[in-house]
Homo-oligomer: A and B are copies of this chain.
C-alpha cells in the first residue's frame, strides 16, 4: 500500500537508513524511525503493513536506485571502459553513502529479509553478466564462470570500500584506478 504522500515515504526511508547507519539494524525501533521521520508511530502503519515490509521496501528501493546510478549512460562503451566506470561508481557509492551501504549489508543477514529480496539478483548483476560475456567473446576476459569473476569483483570492491570508510579515506581517481587495475589483472585474458 503506497498512497499519495511520496515525500513522507522518502522521509521514512531516510530515517531508516540514517538510524541503521548509526545504530545498526538490530537497534532499529519503529518509534525511533517515526520520530526521526517526523511522523507518529501509527503513521508508519498507514504506509507499511509491518516493520518487515518497511525494511524490505527500503532494501528494494536502494538496490534499484543503486544499480541505475552505477550503470547510468555507459552502454555502448568498450567492455573494459564500462567495467572501470562501474568500478569507480560503485566504489564512490559505497564510500560516500556509508549509511546506505551499512543498511544493505546488515539487512542481508537480518531476520527481516523476505524470500523475494533474498533472491533479488540485482539488475546490476545481470548487466554485469552480459558485459562479462561480451568480454569473453572479445577474448579480453578469461573464459571462466561468471560467478567466479563476479565474486572477485564484488568481493574485492566491498572489502576495499570498507577499508576506505574505516580509515576515513576518500575515493580519488588514483585509488579507483589502482584498485581496478588489480581486478583487471585478475580477470583479463
The interface of chain A, by Cβ under 8 A from chain B, is 23-27, 102, 105-106, 109-111, 142, 144, 147-152, 154-160, 162-163, 178-179, 182-183, 185-188
Task: Kindly report which residue of chain B lies nearest to residue A167, judged by CB atoms.
Answer: B147
CB distance from A113 to the nearest CB of B (A): 10
Q: List 28 A-B contacts (CB under 8 A).
A: A23-B111, A24-B109, A24-B110, A24-B111, A25-B109, A102-B109, A105-B109, A109-B109, A142-B182, A147-B160, A148-B182, A149-B182, A151-B156, A151-B159, A151-B160, A152-B152, A152-B156, A152-B160, A152-B182, A152-B183, A152-B186, A154-B159, A155-B156, A155-B159, A182-B186, A183-B186, A185-B185, A185-B186
Least CB distance from A165 to B in Å reads: 12
A105 to B108, CA, bound (A): 11
Residue of B nearest to A107 (CB): B109
* Shortest Cβ distance from residue A184 to the other chain B in the assembled complex, whole angstroms: 8
The 3 tightest CB contacts between A and B, nearest first, are A155-B159, A186-B186, A155-B155
Q: How far is the CA of A8 from the CA of B188 in the complex (A)?
A: 52
Query: Which applies to chain A's interface (DSSP): helix, strand, loop or mixed?
Result: helix
> What residues of chain B lie closer than 8 Å to A149, measured between beta carbons?
182
The complex is assembled from copies of this chain, and their number is: 4
Instruction: Give chain B residues whose Cβ lies under 8 Å from the Cβ of A156.
Output: 151-152, 155-156
- Docked Cα-Cα span, A175 to B169, in Å, equals 35
Q: Which residue of chain B is the closest to A26 with respect to CB atoms?
A: B111
Residues of B within 8 A of A24 (CB): 109-111
**Smallest CB separation, A90 vs chain B (Å):** 13
- Given known contacts A144-B178, A152-B183, what 8 new A-B pairs fall within 8 Å (CB)? A23-B111, A105-B109, A106-B109, A142-B182, A151-B163, A152-B159, A155-B157, A155-B158
